[in-house]
Structure 1
Amino acid sequence: MLRTLQISTNNLTGRIPSFIGNLSSLTYLSMAINHLEGNIPQEMCSLKNLTFMQLGENRLNVTFPSCLYNMSSLTTIAVALNDFNGPLPPNMFNTLSNLQQLYIGGNQLSGKIPISIANASVLQILELSVNNLVGQVPSLGKLHDLQQLNLELNNLGDNSTKDLEFLKSLTNCTKLQIISIDRNNFGGNLPNFIGNISTQLSQLYLGGNQIFGKIPAELGNLIRLIVLGLDNSHFEGVIPTTFGKFERMQKLLLHGNKLSGDIPSSIGNLSQLYLLRTRDNRLEGNIPLSLINCQKLQTLDLSQNFLRGTIPIEVFSLSTLSLNLSKNSLSGILPREVGKLKSIIKLDVSENHLSGDIPRTIGECIVLEYLCLQGNSFNGTIPTSLASLKDLQYLDMSRNRLSGPIPNVLQNISVLEYLNVSFNVLEGEVPTKGVFGNVGELVVTGNNNLCGGISELHLQPCSVKGIKPAKHHKTRLIGVIICVVSILLMATIILTIYCMKKRNKKQNSHSPTTDTLAKVSYQDLHNGTDGFSASNLVGSGSFGTVYKGNLTSEDKVVAIKVLNLQKKGAHKSFIAECNALKNMRHRNLVKILTCCSSIDYKGQEFKALVFEYMSNGSLEQWLHAGIVNAGNKRMLDIEQRLNIAIDIASVLHYLHLECEQLVIHCDLKPSNVLLDDDMVARVSDFGIARLVSVINDTSHQETSTIGIKGTIGYAPPEYGMGSEISTYGDMYSFGVLMLEMLTGRRPTNEMFEDSQNLHMFVENSFPNNLIQILDPRLLPRNEEATIEDGNIGSFTPIVEKCLVSLFRIGLACSMESPKERMNIVDVTRELSVIKKAFISGVRTCD
């Protein structure tokens, strides 16, 4: 006689028992959010009175039993977030005449959406997101009761002009409230009849597709919209002035398109707006003064456009928590009214043409955590009022014209983790406490008159009690330097002639037959790095030193790896490394631009490789309070870490399976993963030589194993016992790197003593106590007080499931036994599934 069985949100495992079919009176069944696996038993189909079936967020797989589609009593089927696969049967909806709610998102379903969907005439909610569905969306015009339609994160559409024709059928669905077709492959123009869809529509997500052309003005007819997502597509033209009709709009996403013209003043009519993103477009003109009417605005991102003029004072009267105006052409001063932003957490005005003093009133932004002022023309001194910002974690004032000393009071900001004042005209003694005591999080280069500080900065010592060296001592020192330089110059000329003759003879008899890159001269590299100045030093390793430089031939900033030819094997690896890197093409590899094989000014042999320069530094610096670029948060969030993991896995898939010859990285670690302007990860070859390549000639094959031992903590245990290098070793390093990204702990952390390691540390808390090992910076801010409770609080179930899956991959890849490690094919497939599920899960949090 049991009618209701609700056992959801437990830790149940195993399969759904077949005796479920004996509960003949059952009408309501909920087993969601457990660890159930296997298939749905056929016996469930005998429950003729069942109206509600909820099995979501388990590990159920295979396909649905076909008999389920004959259960006409069902009004709700909720099986989202499982592992069901295969296509939906064409006749699936022929007998589900009473079905009102269908939730099957977050699975691995493939094929097309059945045309028979039109027979589910009383359907109210259709949730098919995060699957692998393809093809055209059938007509849905007969679903007159439809309220929610979610097709996001599939492969629907063919990037053709016919893709969006199904939207016309939705004009018959007058009860529609939510439509999402985000992140598919829909193409063509957005048709004008989009404005004829239900006037009840409150949320419309169209972003992440191939839709192009102008945004139709008819969209303004949907006056009840509170969320509109047109982001990351190919829209062009102007923002329609009809958007001013959206008086209920709370969230407007227009970023990542090709929109041009002015931001219309009608945006000021959106009095309920709390989030506005127009970044990464081609917008121009002034920031509209009408924004003052959007008093509920909490996030305003107008970055990466062509906005000009001054920053209106009115903007600083908003209650915004995040203001990003970076990478525009704004000029004038930063108004003193900036101090009115009492609640702002992030302020970014970097990469503009702002000038004048940094206003002292900025110290009144008492909850500010991130302040980005770099890449402007600010002058004057650094205001001491910054010391009032007790929550300030990130401060970048680099590439300005600031003068005077660095205020000592900045070392009193206890939470300040990163400070960049490079390339100004600062002078005087550098403090030593607080952030000034951590050389990895402090950048002061490009200020020639700074002195003192901690020894790792390698600055000149400050004069004792302010007494400078006597003038005649300086004159005498200059004279000595001139004499020494003259002698060295003469010797250099003689040695250069001798060595070049000797080298030419050697090259004629031993020149390699491998193809080489177009070369630059030693003089080009010497000039581009200011004589390989220490101020341009990026990093160093056993086989090379890396400098930042400017090359006239490339007309860009580059990274120059100078090989240490004193190391055994360096000569031999140069040609092999050039040829291998030259032939590798992948978006997630740091690109080699050219090379240099020459004689330096001392007559010694010189070899260097020239790579793209990555402005956002290394993953190491980000994970452990490292540097960032303008326009991005200093701390990597969950999605950014997921994207980086996908980028790295993509490289390993390419190196292990897609290259003409197998390449094993051998030293995969955060410091060898660089981030470009768009926060895309690029695996680099800086530091020690790690490339394992096969060099072909007419007589034999040779495997280069230069520097294969890797780095302690990241190198697999078998390498330490003399085993041959293999792809299994790279997978181990990847697993450790994954766990480091999730926990924020290095594998060499002092807490790992004796036989303990990062893998064991995670394994002991997996999967039921992740809160104890998750990087605390990834926790929602309001959850800091509940860490001891053992739960993740306000993370959505989907995000929690994604985190568990990421930890599982890290553990599977870092197994001690090579044969037990996950392979790169499975890793890339799993990460793709996790990414789709994650994006769907965070939608409600945006």
Structure 2
Amino acid sequence: MKHFYLMLLAFWFVYVHLFFLFTLNTLWLSPNMSAFASRNEVDHLTLLKFRESISSDPYGILLSWNTSAHFCNWHGITCNPMLQRVTKINLRGYNLKGSISPHVGNLSYIKSFILANNSFYGNIPQELGRLSQLQILSIGNNSLVGEIPTNLTGCVQLKILHLNGNNLIGKIPIQIFSLQKLQYFLVVRNQLTGGISSFIGNLSSLTYLQVGGNNLVGDIPQEICHLKSLTTIVIGPNRLSGTFPSCLYNMSSLTAISATVNQFNGSLPPNMFHTLPNLQEVGFGGNQFSGPIPPSIINASFLTIFDISVNHFSGQVSSLGKVQNLFLLNLSENNLGDNSTNDLDFLKSLTNCSKLNVLSISYNNFGGHLPNLLGNLSTQLNVLYLGGNQISGEIPAESGNLINLILLTMENNYFEGFVPSAFGKFQKMQVLELGGNNLSGDIPAFIGNLSQLFHLGIGENMLEGIIPRSIENCQMLQYLKLSQNRLRGTIPLEIFNLSSLTNLNLSQNSLSGSMSEEVGRLKHISSLDVSSNNLSGDIPGMIGECLMLEYLYLRENSFQGFIPTSLASLKGLRKLDLSQNRLSGTIPNVLQNISTLEYLNVSFNMLNGEVPTEGVFQNASELVVTGNSKLCGGIPELHLPPCLVKGNKLVEHHKFRLIAVIVSVLAFLLILSIILTIYCMRKRSKKPSLDSPIIDQLAKVSYQSLHNGTDGFSTANLIGSGNFSFVYKGTLESEDKVVAIKVLNLQRKGAHKSFIAECNALKILNIDILFRF
């Protein structure tokens, strides 16, 4: 029993002790739990304010940000599981548009704030400087403006500052260089100015420095060499100048240096690749470096990218036998080589570079022949630039082994012979440039096998024959240059089926025939040059369907007929050259309506008439009309005769109009007078009068009756006489009355007039009856 009570006492003691502890903890924790809840609500409200600042959410990412779920479960939000406080916001790449709310400064537990690859605009909020636990700030590739906030120094834990690809201005704040834990500083592709501060040496943890794509000036401070952890330095393009600090070449931790497109000068130390044994990427292109390529490059076994293009490097290229990881080698636009036969010996060492993808040695002084072992280069080679050297001989057929080439340029050398048939294997070829050599023979028909081509340049050679119709198979072709060869025949209609063409140059050949109306099918053509050929016929009117045309050159042919008015449809036309043809007629006035036209040459044709004065015709320096003897007018600077012929025609035209008016008036008056006359005559005919006797009403007497009535005109009946007549008295049988009968002697001169006068006198007298016979 005693043992039972002892057990009961122990249980009671434990119970009371636990109750006491629970009560004590409750009393102590209650206000703290309330505080945690209050702080959680701050994060909740902050996120809601952040959402309100978003004006566009095309993927509906923020639809989950509502009261149906705890904010820690919202898309892109990560919380501390114990404290339920926001530690991370990751909304990268959702094309969100809006401003960054300043309320984010209230997220006191946040460590990672990632909004990169969106469309945020406005300034970077100063309130970000309050986030003392922030380690990652990634807001690159947006549209942010303004300056980098100086108070980001408050983010003492910051390791990654990613501001690439915005529109930030001003200088890099020196306060940034006090962030001792900063490892990544990325401000590429902004509009920052000023220089690189010497305080950069304070970033003792910095491993990645990327300040290219700005407008920084000055030199690289020596203090950069204090950054013992630095592995990558990207400082181009900018406008930095001077020489590289020599101490940089002793930073063995460096794996990548990119200083492209600046104004650096000097030479590279010969032992550069000994002191920088870990270098993988070197980009010095677009500067003013000179001297030889460091011979120590032979030991750069980790090197993958070596770009020293557009500088002043000279001398021979060393063997690259141990650089087996090389992916890109760009030596273009330097002074390498001396036009000797051994200039290209280094290519043999490149056959060991099985990963080589891009090789460019263009525009140097390399001479000699292209070695046959070119075909032994990596089958992964996609890009090969050989143009602008002094390489001669035939193109090796072995080059056809590089079946994965998508770009091959060999222009402006001294290659001769035929285009190798092995080129027909280039099924992936997109750019083939062979112009400016001494190649001969026909354009091979296998060119139609290169169905992926969008650039074909084989101009400025000695090619002959016709343009192969198989070219129609190159439906992706955008650029076609066959100029300055010896091509003959007509322009094949198949060329006009290449609907993707933007640039077609067939100039300076011996092409003949007419230009087909099918040219109107080239809907994307922007430059068309068929000058200096033997083309004839009319300029096709359908050329007005080439609405994208900017440059049209038809000079030095035998085109005839009129200049087509359809050219006025080319609203983007900038240059038009129709000179040295046989065009006739006038210059169409509609050409002055092409507002973009900057240059017009119609010289040496057979044009006539007045030159317009508007648009391009206002600028004598951009207008050539010489060699057309019948042109006139235009602006005074053209010194053409006035259009007198046209003036005389105007005067004659006015005279004709005046005569026409007069004749019309006279004709009207004549017709009116005739109508009035007829009207009056009809009116008179309605009134019988002595003025207009009706002849049928007069008495009719025969000569026999008169003879009988006067007894044969007996003198016994003679009652009077005159100079021209005799008057007899007689009796008419039908009337039974005595009448006077006058007999005229018409043989006497004046008798007829006397008779007319007597008739008029009788008309005046009121004689009731006259007789006639």
TM-score, normalised on structure 1?
Answer: 0.53
Secondary structure of the residue aligned to 2:272 is coil
Q: Deviations over 1:265-319 (max 9, x none)?
A: 1111111111112222222111111111111111111111111111101001112
Look up the match of 1:423.
604
**CA distance in 2 between partners of 1:48 and 1:433 (Å):** 69
Judge conservation of contact 1:346–1:371 (CA < 8 Å) in 2.
yes
Look up the match of 1:297.
477
- Given the alignment, which residue of 514, 518, 534 partners 1:353? 534
**CA distance in 1 between partners of 2:340 and 2:204 (Å):** 49
Look up the match of 1:183.
363
Look up the match of 1:87.
267
Q: Deviations over 1:80-128 (max 9, x none)?
A: 2333332222211114232211112222222211221122211110111
Look up the match of 2:505.
324
CA RMSD of aligned residues (A): 2.2
Cα distance, 1:70–1:213 mapped onto 2, change above 3 Å: same
1:461 partner amino acid:
C
Structure 1 position 309 matched with structure 2 position 461: no
Cα distance, 1:144–1:408 mapped onto 2, change above 3 Å: same
Cα distance, 1:55–1:285 mapped onto 2, change above 3 Å: same
Return the offset for 1:38.
Answer: 4.8
Return the offset for 1:449.
Answer: 2.3
Return the offset for 1:175.
Answer: 0.5
Return the offset for 1:213.
Answer: 1.2
Q: Deviations over 1:336-380 (max 9, x none)?
A: 211111111111111111111112221221222221111001112
Cα distance, 1:55–1:418 mapped onto 2, change above 3 Å: closer
Secondary structure of the residue aligned to 1:243 is helix
Look up the match of 1:366.
547
Cα distance, 1:369–1:23 mapped onto 2, change above 3 Å: closer
**CA distance in 1 between partners of 2:445 and 2:222 (Å):** 61
- Given the alignment, which residue of 295, 312, 319 partners 1:132? 312
Look up the match of 2:521.
340
Return the offset for 1:138.
Answer: 0.9
Cα distance, 1:45–1:468 mapped onto 2, change above 3 Å: closer
Return the offset for 1:252.
Answer: 1.4
- Given the alignment, which residue of 274, 281, 289 partners 1:109? 289
Look up the match of 2:730.
none
Secondary structure of the residue aligned to 2:264 is strand
What are the within-5 Å matches in structure 2 for residues 361-510 of structure 1?
361-457=542-638, 458-464=640-646, 467=649
**CA distance in 1 between partners of 2:313 and 2:515 (Å):** 50
Secondary structure of the residue aligned to 2:201 is helix
Cα distance, 1:60–1:347 mapped onto 2, change above 3 Å: closer
Return the offset for 1:155.
Answer: 0.9
TM-score, normalised on structure 2?
Answer: 0.58
What are the within-5 Å matches in structure 2 for residues 539-578 of structure 1?
none
Structure 2: gaps spanning 5 or more residues: 1-180, 653-773
Cα distance, 1:60–1:321 mapped onto 2, change above 3 Å: closer
Cα distance, 1:466–1:322 mapped onto 2, change above 3 Å: farther
Return the offset for 1:177.
Answer: 0.7
2:591 partner amino acid:
L
**CA distance in 2 between partners of 1:419 and 1:88 (Å):** 52
**CA distance in 2 between partners of 1:225 and 1:381 (Å):** 48
Please, which moves more after superposition, 106-115 or 206-215?
106-115
1:439 partner amino acid:
A
Secondary structure of the residue aligned to 1:385 is helix
Cα distance, 1:336–1:38 mapped onto 2, change above 3 Å: closer
Cα distance, 1:105–1:444 mapped onto 2, change above 3 Å: closer
| Structure number with bigger Rg | 2
Secondary structure of the residue aligned to 2:271 is coil
2:280 partner amino acid:
Q
Structure 1: gaps spanning 5 or more residues: 471-846
1:106 partner amino acid:
G
**CA distance in 2 between partners of 1:40 and 1:346 (Å):** 46
2:321 partner amino acid:
G
- Given the alignment, which residue of 103, 122, 132 partners 2:302? 122
**CA distance in 1 between partners of 2:238 and 2:319 (Å):** 31
Please, which moves more after superposition, 13-22 or 407-416?
13-22
Q: Deviations over 1:493-514 (max 9, x none)?
A: xxxxxxxxxxxxxxxxxxxxxx
Q: Deviations over 1:587-614 (max 9, x none)?
A: xxxxxxxxxxxxxxxxxxxxxxxxxxxx
Judge conservation of contact 1:275–1:300 (CA < 8 Å) in 2.
yes
**CA distance in 1 between partners of 2:227 and 2:601 (Å):** 67
Structure 1 position 154 matched with structure 2 position 334: yes
**CA distance in 2 between partners of 1:67 and 1:347 (Å):** 55
Return the offset for 1:7.
Answer: 3.5
**CA distance in 2 between partners of 1:402 and 1:36 (Å):** 57
Look up the match of 1:278.
458
Tell me how many residue pairs correspond in the alignment: 470
Secondary structure of the residue aligned to 1:403 is strand
What are the within-5 Å matches in structure 2 for residues 185-204 of structure 1?
185-204=365-384
Return the offset for 1:439.
Answer: 3.1
Cα distance, 1:468–1:248 mapped onto 2, change above 3 Å: same
Larger RCO: 1 or 2 (CA < 8 Å, sep 6+): 1
Cα distance, 1:347–1:88 mapped onto 2, change above 3 Å: same
Sequence identity of aligned pairs in percent? 64
What are the within-5 Å matches in structure 2 for residues 223-238 of structure 1?
223-238=403-418
Q: Deviations over 1:467-508 (max 9, x none)?
A: 4999xxxxxxxxxxxxxxxxxxxxxxxxxxxxxxxxxxxxxx
Judge conservation of contact 1:452–1:462 (CA < 8 Å) in 2.
no
Return the offset for 1:36.
Answer: 4.4
Return the offset for 1:149.
Answer: 0.4
Secondary structure of the residue aligned to 1:463 is helix
Please, which moves more after superposition, 60-69 or 174-183?
60-69
1:420 partner amino acid:
N
2:617 partner amino acid:
F
